[in-house]
Structure 1
């Protein structure tokens, strides 16, 4: 990656000064949740939404289970966020195990509920270990889904990107071609799958620009507190977990508070290095917990909007 003079100065300051000293607070953030299965999980989710809302996120998104298995719960969660908060809510939609008409009916229902932002994904096969198979009457891939959504309504659309290449892609070039097809079909931005090396993101950002992709690419950040769970996620999306990170969590199985501190430290340091490389937008995979994401946002200079208003007064 070639750094501008401003970026070099920022990188030098990040090295010479305390890592998070006096950041401008100019980073924009968004958060991802998954639909709750029980009343208790819904309470936990809503506590997370309310905790993170004062940081004025650009949007929050709600995931969609394989084969539409969470369709009703996703819709209910997104609709409640849209109805009860001022946060723009984005709903995930996939191509898995549904016809074009069924998917577009869901999209119309979102539009009628006031949802204007869709995260459009191909999705994974409901059967673990098998490759995605498009239905004959379904959307073949995310690019065709984006085109179908744009024909329904002028949705804002985010799509997925893979800094370390999607496991189903034959190579990096094909992966970038697929991303460009999604952007050309009408997507507004790409949100990356998680990664644990800032260099992986910078290389990907440069490669995307060289491939003619000019849309915003937002890094997806997963604060890790459960390495086994993260390893499972990583296997599904092509992310690599460095050996040093595994070693940092060794011996912490019975120390959840220490795990949280280690997780926050690792993710915050990576975000700081991304910030030094001129990244100003971050998307956090919260796993329906606010604490880690909130702490990292705070370190990046984000403050509750109410606090800022009070200080200005």
Structure 2
């Protein structure tokens, strides 16, 4: 963890593109509430195979142009072509977007076959650098508990290093609830001379059923003691939220005390849980 202490602490929040006018208004209110904390940037996800590409762009432009905050669109490459990615990069450049979260991404549900011309995130990072030089600050994903499709932990570390060597500036992790997994991952990276900022991804706990579904899909472990406590609350949502706030606040305290270079909150387009954790931590805006 020595290398991480050397980096500036960066705090950021992630949204997903709304699917309706009602969702857009909900997101706007969440963004306005979280903007009071003056984060470094807001990131916006990109659906499987780029399925939310237009909505991602609309959301990003509203954040950057209207709210005047730095916006970082996700950009995935699976199932795409170099020309298509080139067009998106040019579109972002024309709109003065300078921050990208570069991901391999997932194939759209039901699609099989051709993974496209850029099959892995390291190829996407290299392509962005070839096309745009240093215009973009590039974030990549990290998996402290191993990517669910990786053949081994060591192979996953090697894949991560390839993304870094291709030109990544920083990394954001998949969410986790075991701080030791993050410490171990960072220590392994340092042994491979990978010392870029690795910012922990934080998922507030507000709905156990939803969290369990997400975690099973992405390979994030929910420690047994947390699962049992959450299961014990049944449909008592207030108790789930209170317990979740306590658990996640403690996790964030541990990570920051150990030298983590900031926190990246997966907000689920809501502000209340993230604001509560932020206030519990005693963090200052900006």
User: Given the two structures, how large is their TM-score scaled by the length of structure 1?
Assistant: 0.84
Alignment of 1:230-249 (within 5 A): 230-249=211-230
Are positions 1:48 and 2:30 aligned together? yes
Checking the alignment, whether the CA contact within 8 Å between 1:27 and 1:300 is kept in structure 2 is: no
Change (3 A) 1:144 1:132: farther
Are positions 1:284 and 2:265 aligned together? yes
Shift of 1:140: 1.6
Are positions 1:186 and 2:170 aligned together? no
Are positions 1:37 and 2:19 aligned together? yes
Are positions 1:80 and 2:59 aligned together? no
Q: In the alignment, what sits opposite 1:218?
A: 199
Shift of 1:111: 1.4
Are positions 1:139 and 2:118 aligned together? yes
Q: In the alignment, what sits opposite 1:150?
A: 129
Q: In the alignment, what sits opposite 2:39?
A: 57
Q: In the alignment, what sits opposite 1:69?
A: 51
Higher CA-based Rg: 1
Q: Distance in 2 between matches of 1:30 and 1:231?
A: 24
Shift of 1:232: 2.2
Match of 2:75 among 80, 86, 93: 93
Shift of 1:132: 8.6
Checking the alignment, whether the CA contact within 8 Å between 1:27 and 1:302 is kept in structure 2 is: no
User: Given the two structures, how large is their TM-score scaled by the length of structure 2?
Assistant: 0.92
SS in 1 for 2:138: strand
Q: Distance in 2 between matches of 1:267 and 1:280?
A: 17
Higher alpha-carbon deviation: 35-44 or 237-246: 237-246
Shift of 1:131: 8.4
Q: Distance in 2 between matches of 1:200 and 1:45?
A: 31
Q: In the alignment, what sits opposite 2:145?
A: 164
Residue deviations 1:127-175 (CA, integer Å, cap 9, x gap): 37x989522xx21210110111122322000000000111111111111
Shift of 1:263: 1.5
Shift of 1:254: 3.3
Higher alpha-carbon deviation: 211-220 or 257-266: 257-266
Checking the alignment, whether the CA contact within 8 Å between 1:34 and 1:64 is kept in structure 2 is: yes
Question: Unaligned stretches of 5+ in structure 2?
Answer: none
Shift of 1:264: 1.1
Checking the alignment, whether the CA contact within 8 Å between 1:124 and 1:132 is kept in structure 2 is: no
Alignment of 1:240-259 (within 5 A): 240-259=221-240
Q: Distance in 2 between matches of 1:298 and 1:77?
A: 26
Q: In the alignment, what sits opposite 1:21?
A: none
Checking the alignment, whether the CA contact within 8 Å between 2:207 and 2:241 is kept in structure 1 is: no
Shift of 1:27: 5.1
Shift of 1:212: 1.5
Q: In the alignment, what sits opposite 1:274?
A: 255
Q: Distance in 2 between matches of 1:150 and 1:172?
A: 27
Checking the alignment, whether the CA contact within 8 Å between 1:32 and 1:60 is kept in structure 2 is: yes
Checking the alignment, whether the CA contact within 8 Å between 2:129 and 2:167 is kept in structure 1 is: yes
Checking the alignment, whether the CA contact within 8 Å between 2:197 and 2:261 is kept in structure 1 is: no
Residue deviations 1:263-295 (CA, integer Å, cap 9, x gap): 111110111111221224000000000111111
Equivalent residues, number: 281
